[in-house]
Amino acid sequence: MNDVARTLYLICYDVGDPKRWRRVHRFLLGYKVGGQKSFFECWLTAADLREVRRRLTELLNPEEDRAHIFQLDPRMRRELLGRATEAPTTYFLIV
């Protein structure tokens, strides 16, 4: 993966301490395009992914917290249940 191509990831986290949870949540809000509570869909470049991994390593307490980063295939059909809505997939540019 090159540094400009974006790939869809699902980032899930379970943080026990409210203060650490807010820090992790606030950090990941900058990358999310969809999701809720502690599950975020994020379109990340290779550089973004490295930064997310690095920063989560700093923010999480390895004895109490955990985070999972799953690479998703955006070509797969999504099944939406309840009040779920399709996440936006339009392209965007941050300058």
The pairing of beta strand 39-44 with beta strand 66-71: unpaired
Nearest to 94 by CA among 47, 41, 61: 47
pTM of the model: 0.76
- Judged against a pLDDT cut of 80, whether residue 87 lies above it is answered with no
Range 7-71 has CATH code 3.20.20.100: no
pLDDT of 28-50, one tens digit each? 998 888 777 889 989 999 999 99
Nearest to 87 by CA among 9, 23, 15, 20: 9
Q: Where are the domains of the chain?
A: 7-71
pLDDT of 42-81, one tens digit each? 999 999 999 999 999 999 999 999 999 999 887 777 776 6
* Chain-centre distance for alpha carbon 71: 10
pLDDT of 1-30, one tens digit each? 556 788 999 999 999 999 999 999 999 998
Burial of 52 (0-12, 13-18, 19+ CB in 10 A): buried
d(CA 77, CA 86): 11
